[in-house]
Amino acid sequence: MASSFDATIAGRWLTEAVETGNPLAGLPAEGQPATMDDAAEICAEVLSGLGLVPCGLRLKGAIAGPMLEGRLAKASAPVARSMLRHPSASAAVAGVLAAPLVETESGPPVFRALHPALDIAASRFTDATTDPLLVTADLGGIGLVVTGRGRPVAPGAVTLRIGPVGRRRRSLTLDLEAAFAAAAAAARAMGGLPAGALLVVAGLAADMDLGADIAADFGPLGKLTATFA
């Protein structure tokens, strides 16, 4: 029996949720993704419905999704909590590719610059979900990526100190070489990326709520503070 799955219907529902800002209780039965390919197809329908072309790829954990230019924010500008549903923040690094990632090739990505960042995940659904299929369909769960000043450094081991402003910050070591290798593999599996595109690795530290401003020190990559209004 042929599957009744219809990515177009699910894409329309999510597209409307993004455009209007109205929460989506769930997807219709015929739009429920059963596989990651189904979820990626829905995501592509949403991008098409919104008329958006990704400027790169964002990888959070095992979930790869589009990086969108309109979802980039400078650390100097406050983030409005009310604009995001079920937001959570995590450490991230955004790399600007100096050379393309070609689908048929391998090897580490080459960067023009790396930016310290704070990834703010969000949802278009009424109830928060961790279902990887729904998160993937929902543009990978992207909210905003708040970036600091870029530096021409190569990814490696970095000691990160991150936490709410005015409180003791926890310290941990990041293996950015491994994180970007995984992101590059995901990008190549999806067809590759051109030079100048963004490769974002998120979820580098435990998720935090947005109850207070967050400061992060990435050592040689620099610092940033994200403020919330």
Q: Is residue 181 part of a domain?
A: yes
Element (H, E) at 47: helix 36-50
pLDDT at 93: 98
Q: Is residue 192 part of a domain?
A: yes
CA nearest to 59, candidates 48, 51, 67: 67
What residues contact 69, with CB distance under 8 A and at least 6 apart? Answer: 55
Q: Please count the helices (runs of H) and the strands (runs of E) in the chain.
A: 4, 11
The closest of 45, 49, 69, 42 to 142, measured between CA atoms, is 69
- Mean per-residue pLDDT of the chain: 94
Q: Is the pLDDT of residue 1 over 60?
A: no
Is 5 contained in some domain? no
Domain of residue 217, CATH code: 3.90.850.10
Pick from 122, 112, 118, 106: which is nearest to 182 by CA?
A: 106
pLDDT digits (tens, 9 = 90+) for 87-129: 999 999 999 999 999 999 989 999 999 999 999 999 999 999 9
- pLDDT at position 4, please? 87
Residue 182: the pLDDT is: 97
Query: Per the domain annotation, does 61 fall within a domain?
Result: yes
How far apart, in Å, are the Cα atoms of 175 and each of 61, 154, 172, 204?
Answer: 14, 12, 10, 9
> Could you give phi then psi for residue 91, rounded to 5 degrees?
-65, 145
> Could you list the residue range(s) of the whole structural domain that residue 75 is in?
54-226
Q: Could you tell me which of 170, 183, 148 has the C-alpha nearest to residue 61?
A: 183
For 122-172, the pLDDT digits (tens) are: 999 999 999 999 999 999 999 999 999 999 999 999 999 999 998 888 899
CA 107 to chain centre: 22
Count structural domains, the chain: 1
3-class SS letters over 98-112:
CCCECCCCCCCCCEE
What pLDDT is stored for residue 65 in this prediction? 97
The answer to whether position 3 is within a domain reads no
| 195 domain-assigned | yes
- Residue 2 pLDDT > 50, yes or no? no
Phi and psi at residue 184, to the nearest 5°? -65, -40
> What is the model's pLDDT at position 76?
84
pLDDT value, residue 195: 98
pLDDT tens digits for 167-190?
888 899 999 999 999 999 999 999
Q: Which residue type, as a one-letter code, is found at position 182?
A: A
Q: Which two tokens stand for residue 14?
A: 């999510």
Rounded to an integer, the average pLDDT of 68-75 is: 94
Please indicate, yes or no, if residue 170 is contained in any of the structural domains. yes
As a whole number of angstroms, the distance between CA 72 and CA 143 comes to: 9
On whether residue 120 sits in a domain, the answer given is yes
pLDDT tops 80 at residue 3: no
pLDDT tens for each residue of 14-61: 999 999 999 999 999 999 999 999 999 999 999 999 999 999 999 999
